[in-house]
Amino acid sequence: MNWLWRQIYRQYRLFSWVQHTAGRRLTPAGAVVLFCLVLTLLLGVNRESMVSYQAITLLLFLALAAPLAALFFRVKVGVTRALPRFGTVGQTMHYPVLVKNLTTKPQAGLVLMEDVTDPRPAFPEWLAQKQAEQQSMRPFWLSGRPRSVPVSVARLRAAPLPSLPPGRTVEAGVELTPLRRGVLSLDGATVGRTDPFGLFRGLIKIPAPGKMLVLPRRYPLPPLAMGGSLKYQDGGVALAANVGQSDEFVALRDYRHGDPLRHIHWRSWARTGKPIVKEFEDEFFVRHALVLDTFAGQGNAELFEEAVSVAASFACTIQTQESLLDLLFVGAEAYCFTAGRGLAHADQMLEILAAVRPAPRAPAPDADQMTPFLKRMLSGDAGIKTFADLEHLVINHAALVSNCICIFLAWDEPRRRLVEKLKAAGVPVLAVVLVAEAPKVPLDPGPLRDEPHCFHTLVLGKIEAGLQRL
Amino acid sequence: MKTPPFLLGATLLFWGWQSDFPLAGAAMGLALESARFIRARWEMADAEIIRIWNFCSLLGLAAAIFAFTSNEGPATFGKMLEYPNLQNSELAGTSSTAAVIGLLRWLPMIFFGFMLAQAYSSRTEFPLDTVSPFLRYRRQRRLKRGQPAPRLIHFNAAWPYFVICLYAASAHAATEQTFFWGLCGLLAWALWHQRPQGIGRLVWVGALGAVIIASLFGQRGLGQLARLTDLADNYNAQWLARFMRHGTDPAQTRTAIGQIGELQMSPQIVLRVTPVNGAAVPTYLREASYRTYHAPVWYAGGSPDSFANIPETPPNSGHWTLQPGRTNHTLVNIACYLGGYNPKDGNPLGVLPLPVDCEHLEHLEAYSLQNNLVGTVLAEGPGLVIFDASYGAGTTMDSPPATNSAPGLSDDLLVPDKEKPALDSVIATLPLAGLNEAEKCRVVSQYFAVHYQYSVWQAPDKKSPALQTNETALARFLLHTHAGHCEFFATATVLILREMGIPARYAVGYVVHEPAGNHYVVRSRDAHAWCQVWNGRAQTWEILDTTPASWVATEGKRLSPWQFVADTFSWLGFQFAKFRWGQSHLRPYLLISLVPALGYFLYQIIFHRRRHQPAATGPAVPPVNWPGLDSEFYLLEQALVRRGLERRPGESLTHWLAQAGGDPAVAGMDTKLRELLGLHYRHRFDPQGLAGPEREELRQKTRACLAELR
């Protein structure tokens, strides 16, 4: 069976290569000529009743001459790209690319195409995806195409270049629509020109690597009135994030056992002869927890993507000037990131969400593709692999937070138990459950039965409308 | 992308010229190109485009039905379904081809309405949804589900119409090159307008000229290729037949008598014989018999046209009676290939291997069946035939030895003069005195069994007197080597018996001896030759096989240990041939197996809703109570709409009232309405809202206006 899957995978790679190459090489007119050639070959069999066979050689030689002429296409250009740092899934963006003619001849009729790094999955990933699709299928049942994350990472349109005088630089406006979040790598750019008949493009690749981070899609959210109270934060804002030191100095006092050495005020010690430590102000402020369920399971890739989008929408909407927002999730390891009150901004939260992977099959993003911020934030956490561990992480954190927004990919017993425990700890909970299809019977809110307005079901395809009802 | 000016008009003119519709082509071209000079345009909504497309599609359907019926499509297809043979299939194919070509010629007229609509429409491109019900359904389904609608794709119908016109222009038979040159001109016209910048005109013209010249040479090559293809088509069947089938010529057979070396025989399976109702299978299956020997060839005698038709009684029943009046009930099922092809109609043709005493054939789906005087049965039909042969002891199909008055007398007793000395010397050694014909046959058989050996190897004997004298190969076998294969034994036996005055014939066929499961397989190397001797007392022909019985074991030793692999492929080929030639029950089984599936789908369609159920009503969501929704101004708006002042979707109230100001329905109320609108906007959007008196003012004034409107 594995052999068969490998053969299918090879066919998939071959077919996708043909599709990709044909899309870049063939112009619409070229595609029509090729189609007509095939049709004419079929009709040309009947030489007694039709003269279409006379068109066979003409179309054939046109189809042969076009690639032949494209072989002689030579051009030397330099490409400089002003790639934005961030993009957003589904949002078309434009950026300039400077193309310099390095030849001594004027160049005209050129088009510029961006080369995205091959996004096709390796065999193990592809196999896992296919098997997951098969598991979700029902035999002899008509259904739509299985929902999955698109393979292509971006939709790009060839940008026509204005005439290029020798040694001059022109600017091309590239239109790019990211389709998947994460790091979008560009290998380089391709400059092409059609053959004299306008059927086939000759292409020259120019290495010009570039990277951008594609942030998750975000939805507008109505103003949120989250419950909960101010919480005492030991060590203030800075220690709330486990980094840095608070500057909110209040007074000096005698050393007590257990005080950190860095709080000792050395000059006072020298002056008084006994250890004196600095005392910091107690801080009380609102702290939100945003729990992202990453245990998507097989075949729920699209659902997981939407969950990340919902999390990103919350991360952008919650006002963090006067509060903190903790993002808790489990990827390859367990993570807790804090933003707000100058610690980190929403865009950094979005960077993290751009790199979130589902927990069970989550290889950590390649280190060389991460921004320095990501590298710093993703280092040094303990490994947590199951939902029970996410529950452990959240419950341990519950004492610090004012309220908790949980984005779940299912509404099963472990998740209900987590909500129940949070409620028992006195933490107001807003539970958002994403489902692939609208359930025939509305989901039972379980522990949130007494607060139905805190339990929301979002159906795939109607996420935006569902969020408006929050 | 727009088409170049006047390209479509020229293409329609070209189509009209090529398709013998010059007036229609000119009128259509003129109508289309006039759109360049007429400024009036038709504002068409999507629904109107869909209606025009549906009309064109229906027109196409009607034209297709007309073309099909006017070319005798129903009759030929009905005949093909009733009597499925190659001839009827070809007739059905011819009529459908004529229908398709006719329809192709009319396509520019069928879709002209749609093209005209685009030419005179204010829209230069139409949405693809308008011509695709599938896309429309998908869009509506997504909208219904509240999902974002897929991106609209627009297309310019002019280019597909251009291609359709060119194909329609090619739908006629011609030997001249007018279509080619017209096509070159129109394609050049189309390609000229999309040549890239930076390509010089001369370069472009040179490149296209080179392509056209190469195409002209290519046309010649194509002609040669077509001739080669025709040759290959004709040869293909023969070539394949060498690998797949054996062929026996009923008129003559060339023996290997006189050949030096080892006789190479293929282990390929050529027949499959299955006993019916547990009956024994016949040992000998004869294909043909021959009368006259001119070394090394045996001839059947008579003319090639001496075959007589055997009627199928009743017609299309698959029942063919070979010997009327006999009632044998032993059946054997035989599957064999028909090796040759009828030069007249190209149908497969071949000799059937049958038991010599075969009485009738059942379930034989042949087009025709013929036999000759020596019992050879020639069948024309599918490439593979599977039938039941009824046989049993008794008379055979062969004609009896000719009497003195018959011209064929000499054939069954004829002995070549060259062979007589050797035959006589053998006969001289046999104790035949006082024996009747049957005893003589037994003596001859014993003589060969005792003194001769089976061998497929014929060594060149340099010391043999045959090299120095005119001794024949058969004489050398009889007098010196005493070893040979079945053809030696059969030929020698026939000639010895004839020399003794007993009518005999040379027969070829197969020996059935190798069981394979519940049936027997017969390989090419099981081909055998034997003697048929006339039993005057029983008035029938009997088999006299003098070849030593060891020949079967000798041939068996030559089988490769890997023969089972080849046999497996042979079985697969046989199954495919059965399916190909309609001899298997797979087709009905396939249809029958579809019934539960169809029933299941029908059940799903009727009793089950689709998998994606409409969204269930979730927990009740309280409606959003936006401020100002209770404004009485909305009542006023509804009243004005009822009076014919339609407000477009998305049109602001201010703009709407400004537009409606001139209407007699609101004459004299402009100021009041504007004042009320101001209050309404404040009530609706001002965060402070309206104070109590202002709110009351809005209420009262609106009511007054409503009363005034009534």
The CATH number of whichever domain residue A118 belongs to comes to: 2.60.40.10
The candidate with the shortest Cα–Cα distance to B145, out of B618, B611, B615, B608, is B615
CA distance A234 to chain B (A): 40
Q: Pick from B147, B166, B196: which is nearest to A194 by CB?
A: B196
pLDDT of residue A343: 65
A193 to B194: CB separation less than 8 angstroms, yes or no: no
Tally of domains within chain B: 3
The boundaries of the domain holding residue A323 are 284-467
Set of chain B residues whose Cβ sits within 8 Å of the Cβ of A201: none
Contact A196 B195 (CB under 8 A): yes
Whether residues A396 and A271 fall in one domain: no
- Residues B323 and B442 placed together within one structural domain of the fold: yes
Domain limit, last residue, from B500, B527, B559: B559
The answer to whether A440 contacts chain B (CB < 8 Å) is yes
Position B583 in a domain: no
Q: What is the mean pLDDT of residues B517-530?
A: 87
Q: How far apart are CA A157 and CA A113, in angstroms?
A: 7
* Residue B239 lies inside a defined structural domain of this protein: no
Query: Which chain B residues are closer than 8 Å to A459 by Cβ?
Result: 615
Interface test with B, best of A27, A35, A48, A61 (most B CBs within 10 A): A61
pLDDT higher than threshold 90 for residue B540: no
Q: In 3D, which of B41, B206, B65, B185 has the Cα closest to residue B123?
A: B41
Strand partners, A194: A201
Q: Chain A residues with CB inside 8 Å of B216's CB?
A: 57
At B583-638, the pLDDT tens digits run 766 656 766 777 787 777 667 656 654 444 444 455 555 566 677 888 888 888 88
**How confident is the model at residue B454, as a pLDDT?**
85
Predicted pLDDT of residue B507: 92
Strands of the sheet with B252-254, listed across from one edge: B252-254, B297-299, B292-294
A 38-67 residues with CB < 8 A to B: 39, 43, 46-58, 60-62, 65
Strand B320-321 and strand B358-362: the pairing is antiparallel
How many interchain CB pairs under 8 A, A with B? 147
What DSSP string describes B26-64? HHHHHHHHGGGT----B---HHHHHHHHHHHHHHHHHHH
Give the pLDDT band of residue B110 (cuts 50, 70, 90): very high
Q: Measure CB to CB from residue A108 to each of B170, B184, B197 and give the nearest one.
A: B197
Closest alpha carbon within chain A to B204: A196
| Better-predicted residue by pLDDT, B316 or B507 | B507
Sequence-distant (6+) residues with CB within 8 A of A387 are A293, A295, A330, A414, A415
Q: Which has more confidence, B106 or A426?
A: B106
Our CA-based measurement puts residue A126 at a distance from the nearest CA of chain B, in whole angstroms, of 26
* pTM over cut 0.80: no
Asked if residue A432 and residue A389 are part of one domain, the reply reads: yes
Q: Based on the fold, state whether residues A203 and A268 are members of the same structural domain.
A: no
Residue A234 lies in a domain: no
Q: Are residues A254 and A327 in the same domain?
A: no
pLDDT value of position B235: 47
Q: Is the pLDDT of residue B247 over 70?
A: no
Instruction: Please answer whether residues B271 and B510 qualify as being in contact, where contact means their C-beta atoms are separated by less than 8 angstroms.
Output: yes
Nearest CA to CA, how far is B3 from chain A (Å)?
12
A269 touches chain B (CB under 8 A): no
Question: Quick check: B490 and B530 in contact, CB under 8 A?
Answer: yes
Subunit contact A61:B218, Cβ cutoff 8 A:
yes
User: Nearest by CB to A141, which of B198, B611, B614?
Assistant: B611
Tokens 């979040």, located at residue: A181
Place of tokens 């064999």: B336
* HSE-up of residue B197 (Cα within 13 Å, Cβ side): 12
3-state SS assignment for residue B659: helix
Q: Is residue B322 domain-shared with residue B471, that is, in the same domain?
A: yes
The helix-helix angle for B158-169 and B7-18 (nearest 10°) equals 20
Whether A196 has its CB under 8 Å from any CB of chain B: the answer is yes
CA distance B450 to B548: 9
Asked if residue B270 and residue B138 are part of one domain, the reply reads no
**Same structural domain, A270 and A356:** no
Residue in B361, B398, B354, B353 with CA at minimum distance from that of residue B532: B398
In this structure, the answer to whether residues A307 and A261 fall within a common structural domain is no
Look at residue A54 and tell me if it is in a domain: yes
* Residue B398 in this model has a pLDDT that exceeds 70: yes
**Residue A232 within any structural domain of the chain:** no
Question: Residues A367, A320: one domain?
Answer: yes
Q: Please spell the DSSP secondary structure of A36-70, one letter per residue.
A: HHHHHHHHTT-TTT--TTHHHHHHHHHHHHHHHHH
Whether residues A411 and A445 share a domain: the answer is: yes
Please, which residues have CB within 8 angstroms of residue B271's CB and are 6 or more apart in sequence? B285, B334, B335, B336, B353, B510, B512, B521, B522
Nearest alpha-carbon partner for A157 in A95, A210, A219: A95
Going from the first residue of chain A to its last (470 residues), give the mean pLDDT of each consecutive group of 10, the final group possibly shorter.
85 92 91 92 77 88 90 88 89 91 88 90 82 69 60 85 88 90 90 90 91 89 67 52 50 80 88 86 71 78 87 81 77 76 73 81 47 51 63 83 88 89 86 86 86 87 82
The predicted pLDDT at position B12 comes to 94
Q: Are residues B189 and B260 in the same domain?
A: no
Q: How many domains does chain A have?
A: 3
What's the pLDDT score for residue A397?
Answer: 81
Report A:345-404 residues touching B (Cβ under 8 A).
none
pLDDT score recorded for residue A1:
65
pLDDT of residue A248: 63
CB-CB neighbors (< 8 A) of B211 in chain A:
58, 61-62, 65
Distance from CA of A186 to the nearest CA of B (A): 26
Average pLDDT of span B370-389: 86
User: Do B86 and B19 have their domain in common?
Assistant: yes
B177 shares a domain with B260: no
Residues of B in contact with A108 (CB under 8 A): 196-198
Average pLDDT for chain B: 81
Does some domain include residue B689? Answer: yes
Question: What is the distance in angstroms between the Cα of B206 and the nearest Cα belonging to chain A?
Answer: 10
Distance from CA of B656 to the nearest CA of A (A): 29
What is the reported pLDDT for B176?
79
* A153 closest CA partner among A121, A112, A184: A184
Evaluate whether residue A228 is within a structural domain.
no
Range of the domain at B314: 252-559
Do residues B153 and B299 share a domain? no
- End of a domain among A280, A295, A323? A280
User: To the nearest whole angstrom, how far is the Cα of B196 from the nearest Cα of chain A?
Assistant: 6
Question: Are residues A259 and A347 located together in one domain of the fold?
Answer: no
pLDDT for the residue A13 = 92
Domain shared by B523 and B442, yes or no = yes
* Statement to judge: residues A90 and A198 lie in one domain: yes
What does the pLDDT read at residue A150? 64
In this structure, of A396-410, A412-426, B128-142, B452-466, the range with the lowest mean pLDDT score is: B452-466
Last residue of a domain, one of B544, B559, B574: B559
Asked if B211's CB is within 8 angstroms of A196's CB, the reply is no
Q: Report CA-CA distances (Å) from B17 to A48, A352, B179, B525.
A: 19, 69, 10, 64
Q: Is B40 within a domain?
A: yes
Same domain, A193 and A276: no
For residue B245, pLDDT over 50 is answered with: no
**B226 contacts A197? CB cut-off 8 A:** no
Residue A173 falls inside a structural domain: yes
Position B571 in a domain: no
- pLDDT for B276 beyond 80: yes
Same domain, A178 and A265: no
Q: Is residue A403 part of a domain?
A: yes
A252, part of any domain? yes
Let me know if residue B628 belongs to a domain: no
Interfacial A residues in 103-142 facing B (CB < 8 Å):
106-109, 138, 140-142
Q: Which tokens in the block code for residue B634? A: 């909305």
Judge whether residue B407 has pLDDT over 70: no
Domain boundary among B519, B540, B559: B559
Residue in chain B closest to A35 (alpha carbons) equals: B163
Whether A220 maps to a domain, the answer reads no
- Give the phi and the psi of residue B285 in degrees, each rounded to 5: -120, 115
Nearest CB to A462 within list B146, B172, B211: B146
- Residue B646: the pLDDT is 74
